Amino acid sequence: MTTPLLEVRSLSKRFGGLQATREVSFSLREGEIVGLIGPNGAGKTTLVNLITGVLTASGGSVFFKGRDVTRQRPYEAARSGLARTFQIVQPFPHMTVLENVAAGALFAAGAPSRRQAERQAMEHLEFVGLAPLAHQPAASLTLPSRKRLELAKSLAMQPKVLLLDEVNAGLNTAEIEKALALMRAIAARGITILLIEHLMKVVLSLSQRVLVLHHGELISQGDPQSVISDPKVIEAYLGSKFAARQQQLAPATGALHG
Contact residues for ligand ADP (CB under 6 A)?
Answer: 15, 18, 20, 38, 40-46
Residues 136-175 that bind Mg ion (CB under 5 A): none
**Is residue 80 close enough to count as binding Mg ion by CB under 5 A?**
no
Name which of ligand ADP, Mg ion, none residue 205 binds, using a CB cut-off of 5 to 8 Å depending on partner kind: none
Q: How far is the CB of 211 from ligand ADP (least distance, A)?
A: 12
Stretch that binds Mg ion, among 63-71, 85-93, 143-151, 205-213 (CB under 5 A): 85-93
- CB-nearest residue to Mg ion: 45
Letter string b/e over residues 16-40, b meaning 16 or more CB atoms within 10 A of that residue's CB: eeebbbbebebebbeebbbbbbbbe
Closest of 192, 189, 236, 185 to residue 215, by C-alpha: 236
Nearer to Mg ion, 164 or 252 (CB): 164
Cβ-Cβ contacts under 8 Å for 134 (sequence gap 6 or more): 96, 97, 98, 121, 122, 125
Closer residue to ligand ADP, CB minimum distance, 44 or 153? 44
Cβ at position 19, least distance to ligand ADP in Å: 9
Q: From Mg ion, ligand ADP, none, which one binds at residue 100 (CB under 5 to 8 Å depending on kind)?
A: none
Do residues 208 and 34 lie in contact, with contact meaning Cβ atoms separated by under 8 Å? yes
CB of 172 to Mg ion, least distance (A): 21
Residue 250: φ, ψ to 5°: -145, 130
Q: Which residues contact 147 (CB under 8 A, 6 or more apart)?
A: 85, 89, 166, 167, 168, 169, 170
Select from 21, 45, 192, 220 the one that contacts Mg ion (CB under 5 A).
Answer: 45
